[in-house]
Amino acid sequence: MSDELSPGFNDIHASQRCFRAILDAMSHPGRTRTLDEALDPPPSLSVAAACCLLALTDATVLVALPDDAANWLVFHTGAGLAPPSRADFIVARAPIAITNFSGGTDEEPERGATLLLDVPALDTGIRVRLSGPGIAGSITISLPLTTDFIRQWRDQHDRAPCGIDVILCAGRSLLAMPRSVMMEAI
């Protein structure tokens, strides 16, 4: 295996475009956004997950991600590495227990972690109803989650405004679920 790292963004505006797409996805939970950036990330990351990491991380944050992507991310952003329980951003390939992540504190709820759930496809799995800020009424979509994950998501609302945010990534697409969104399996 080569020690060469693949390039990050290929122009100075790519990070801004990705940041805007993420912000739009967080503002409109449950809506899919597609990124058009030319990027060749490490094998364990989708283009969407890699774009999120490049746009959202820097030397002030800690990240938990697959080993093959660690050097790539540190080289491009200066982000530190940490176990999931201490990380600001966590990359996972399947729904995992969110109860082990930092949900922030009453004094600093913004310190809650962000989970980048890097999955094969977005519109598969359990049918859920999403409601809350950014959603007119409610929407029903399928998400590649487990019933245990949905229960944990519901339980985090007892700690509001603390909690974690989730960005689901698949290929070049992403879908965001800020901690304020209610989710129920239907």
Model confidence over 136-162: pLDDT tens digits?
999 999 999 999 999 999 999 888 899
Look over the chain and give the mean of its residue pLDDT values, rounded to a whole number. Answer: 94
Q: Write out the DSSP string of the chain.
A: ---PPPP--SSTTHHHHHHHHHHHHHHSTT--EE--------TTS-HHHHHHHHHH--TT-EEE--HHHHHHHHHHH--EE--TTT-SEEEESS---GGGS-B--SS-GGGB-EEEEE-S-SS-SEEEEEESTTSSSEEEEEES--HHHHHHHHHHGGGTT---EEEEEETTEEEEE-TT-EEEE-
- pLDDT, mean of residues 27-47: 95
Question: How large a percentage of the chain has pLDDT more than 70?
Answer: 98
Answer whether residue 9 is part of any domain.
Answer: no
Q: What's the pTM?
A: 0.94
pLDDT in the model for residue 3: 55
Answer whether residue 8 is part of any domain.
Answer: no
Q: Are 179 and 116 in contact (CB under 8 A)?
A: no
Structural domain boundaries, residue 90: 14-185
Answer whether residue 6 is part of any domain.
Answer: no
Answer whether residue 177 is part of any domain.
Answer: yes
Answer whether residue 4 is part of any domain.
Answer: no
The total of other beta-carbon atoms located within 10 Å of residue 100's CB is 12
Answer whether residue 69 is part of any domain.
Answer: yes
* Count of domains for the chain: 1
* Model pLDDT for residues 80-104, shown as the tens digit of each residue: 999 999 999 999 999 899 998 999 9
* Model pLDDT for residues 52-81, shown as the tens digit of each residue: 999 999 999 999 999 999 999 999 999 999
What's the CATH number where 137 sits? 3.40.50.11310
